[in-house]
Amino acid sequence: MTHTARGLAHLTEKLGVDIDAELLGLALTHRSFAYESGGIPHNERLEFLGDSVLGLAVTTMLYTRFPELEEGQLAKRRASVVSTVALAEVARAIGLGQHLRLGRGEELTGGRDKDSILADAMEAVIGATYLSAGSEVAAAMVLRLVEPLLQDPERYGAAMDPKTALQEIAARQGLTPPAYAVEASGPDHDRRFVATVTVGELVATGEGTSKKTAEMAAALDAWRRLSEPAGARA
């Protein structure tokens, strides 16, 4: 973990914006850490704000860039770009996970690379940027961050529909069709789902707040690993 002044400076450099240090620290504070620290504030309010900023920025960009697309097509593209799996991809690209403040339980179970935690933190960082630098700077940062995804049609398609993308790459590689298993935990008001997908000898997992999002996260993880050169797969 590099939640230090130097680490935060490195993160803001990657983001390309100046963010108030206190707000950025809050954006990186997961509720598990807050709970273990006596109930200090955590990033969920900033996440709520960032979700709206993200949605507006992406909606405006898609409306302007693709004048030929109908409303339904625009909505589908927006849903993919602001999805948990896509935001987690963005977070990994800037190394966001290493800066998070997590509770011991999340730390021990790989929380720094969980799609749901990364995506939520990414939205919180967007919210912190909005409060620190205003709507225009926040929107510009959002578009810089999602641009690589839009420029990679194959990865963009995988983020849009990871289960179909996984099924297609499995067929191309002569592997058995993906098989999913999902486990749920937590109280009714805070249900968490963990999905496991098996493709050939590859096993990948994903977490989400619904069975669907967990399966999508697992599928994207499996697709990402199958897309790597054989020698680079974990």
Catalytic residues: 51, 123
Instruction: Provide the terminal-to-terminal Cα distance of the chain, rounded to the nearest Å.
Output: 22
User: 161: which DSSP letter?
Assistant: S
Pairing verdict, β 192-199 and 179-185? antiparallel
**Residue 70 annotated as part of some ligand binding site:** no
Q: How far is C-alpha 148 from the geometric centre of its chain's CA atoms?
A: 14
Indicate the helix (H) or strand (E) that contains 64: helix 44-65
> Rounded CA gap, 138 and 20, in Å?
13
Within its chain, how far is the Cα of 151 from the centroid?
18
Partnered with residue 184 across adjacent β-strands are: 193
The reply to whether 123 sits in an annotated binding site is yes
User: CA 138, CA 117: separation in Å to the nearest integer?
Assistant: 20
Q: Compute the distance between CA of residue 224 and CA of residue 233 in angstroms, rounded to an integer.
A: 9
Residue 64 CA from chain centroid, whole number? 24
Provide the b/e sequence for 97-114 (b: ≥16 CB within 10 Å).
Answer: bebbbbbeebbeeebbeb
Could you list the residues known to form a binding site, using ranges.
47, 120, 123
Could you list the residues known to form a binding site for Mg(2+), using ranges.
47, 120, 123
